[in-house]
Amino acid sequence: MREFVRPIAICASGLWLTQNYPLSVGSLRDRRVGIVGMGRIGQAIGRRMDASRVPVVYHSRKPAADVSYTHYPDLIEMAKAVDTLIVIVPGGASTAKMINADVNAGARSPPA
């Protein structure tokens, strides 16, 4: 949402010394959000999405107790169903490479 690829390229090329690149004004309007990881932090983010009336679905190893969002046991299927992924998982071997080319290929393009 914040167009990080272009600013990273500007930094890597050294153009940041001569060019400004303000971040875009990102919006979740008309998007469906998929949260990867529905622990304490994922649930807090979900509540904030609710307040903004942004539809939320999630992926985790097991369905979270007392969570009303739709659970997707298959991460790639969830990626196909959403416009934006928010990844809230602990680092380490169990989550390394969780978001890979297959997941990114499943993600839908943002609305025009």
Which pLDDT belongs to residue 112? 44
Q: Where are the beta strands (DSSP E) in 24-71?
A: 33-36, 56-59, 70-71
Least confident of 10-19, 39-48, 91-100: 10-19
Which pLDDT belongs to residue 108? 60
Which pLDDT belongs to residue 16? 75
pLDDT at 99 > cutoff 50:
yes
Q: How far apart are the first and last CA of the chain?
A: 13
**pLDDT > 70 in the chain, percent:** 84
CA dist list (Å): 13 to 4, 8, 17, 79: 14, 9, 10, 31
Which pLDDT belongs to residue 49? 93
The DSSP bridge pattern shows strands 33-36 and 70-71 to be: unpaired
Question: Phi and psi (nearest 5°) for 77?
Answer: -65, -40
